[in-house]
Amino acid sequence: MEALKKIAGVTAAQYVKDGMTVGLGTGSTAYYFVEEVGRRVKEEGLQIVGVTTSSRTTKQAQELGIPLKSVDEIDVIDLTVDGADEVDKDFNGIKGGGAALLMEKIVATPTKDYIWVVDESKMVENLGAFKVPVEVVQYGSERLCRVFEKAGYCPSFRMKDGQKLVTDMQNYIIDLDMKCLKNPVAFAEILDATVGVVEHGLFNGMVNKVIVAGKEGVQVLEAPAKN
């Protein structure tokens, strides 16, 4: 599996060109993309500016000597490469397994070419076997969790070292065990309209390309052009 993640990440780095502003994703697959971009900066003199999606990726990029800007300093990102937890055939996906979904969506939104790098196990018929991460403000989060419980979403707080995990943006994550999401677009709208929810891990129709590494080789799936 690690080898497939590396193939996907390194393949995506071929899309990075001189002069680009590049969103640097988070997770064990995006890690290999960032490593390869760092290698190209160092060995090939690649000239880019990175925008990171988590404190982890910031640290990695700084160690690799990739020049960085804050998302507040730019208006448009040429290319972002990130991982995903599940992807369906309509190019909807779940992200946030690494608890970075809010920063990831903020970086993905002004991106012209948004690419996911996955191994083939992430491609699914229906989303939802992977729990949908929902980033919520701390204030009122216990109450919100009960609301999710009553709605039948089987919520649980993401934990770390016996405590509720606190994201880079100082929020909590509630994971929803939806099992099978027949209509992820409609469910995203429900979450978007829920007070206390900062952002959720449903990234529907945002991605332009999915680079899928499998035992038979690498496939680049192109999403239909957006209007």
- Cβ burial of 80 (10 Å; 0-12, 13-18, 19+) is buried
Type of residue numbered 15: Y
How many chain residues interact with ligand 5RP (CB under 6 A)?
18
Strand pairing report for 172-176 and 155-157: antiparallel
Was 85 annotated as part of a binding site? yes
Q: How far is the CB of 31 from ligand 5RP (least distance, A)?
A: 7
Active site residue 104: yes
The answer to whether 82 contacts ligand 5RP (rule: CB under 6 A) is yes
Was 29 annotated as part of a binding site? yes
The stretches of the chain forming alpha helices (DSSP H) are 2-13, 30-44, 55-64, 101-108, 141-150, 184-192
* Catalytic residue chosen out of the listed positions 104, 120, 125, 189: 104
The answer to whether 27 contacts ligand 5RP (rule: CB under 6 A) is yes
Was 84 annotated as part of a binding site? yes
Q: Give the one residue of 37, 100, 115, 211 binding ligand 5RP; rule: CB under 6 A.
A: 100
Residue 77, phi then psi, degrees to nearest 5 = -110, 130
Binding-site residues for substrate, please? 26-29, 82-85, 95-98, 122
Q: Which residues bind ligand 5RP (CB under 6 A)?
A: 25-30, 82-85, 95-101, 104
